[in-house]
Amino acid sequence: MADQLPLHPGLFSWPSKRPELLGSRCLECGEHAFPSQDSCRACGSEQTEIVGLGHSGTLWTWTVQSFMPKSPYLTDETPETFRPYGVGYVELPCGLKVESRLRENSPDSLAIGLDMELEIIPVRCNDEGTQLMTFQFCAAEVS
């Protein structure tokens, strides 16, 4: 049995050396969607394919969340262990804006237009002890 599983299957390619978000692309008009959709919200076509949306983007807008997430975003955190975290919209190369948790949690480390990279992080363990994984973005390493 796997020790780690995606919390929501189909959102990202994983396990992978370089995980990327998975979405859908309309075969009629080229519209992208995340999470993937069986039909196109732009033209109504039911011809869509699953495509990789890449592992990077730019920060479009953000805020710092200073209270515990509500269901269904259950984690192992308690009011005692909870730490504020960043949340924002990351604009992907295809133009989609994806809402994501951010590793950075201080206004000093976040700025609109920042280069962001996808990372896969543990959320909590299920009853079988399997670690459930989700995605977030973090500021790309400045090289």
Give the residues lining the site for Zn ion (CB under 5 A). 26, 28-29, 31, 40, 42-43, 45
Alpha carbon dihedral 77, 83, 88, 93, in 10-degree steps, equals -80
Token pair for 70: 């509500």
Check if the beta carbon of residue 12 is closer than 8 Å to that of residue 35: no
Q: How far is the CB of 42 from Zn ion (least distance, A)?
A: 5
Q: Which of 94/116 has CB closer to Zn ion?
A: 94
Strands 131-139, 115-125: pairing is antiparallel
Q: How far is the CB of 35 from Zn ion (least distance, A)?
A: 16
Q: How far is the CB of 64 from Zn ion (least distance, A)?
A: 36
Q: Which of 43/121 has CB closer to Zn ion?
A: 43
Q: Which residue has the tokens 């978000």?
A: 21
Q: Which of 25/55 has CB closer to Zn ion?
A: 25
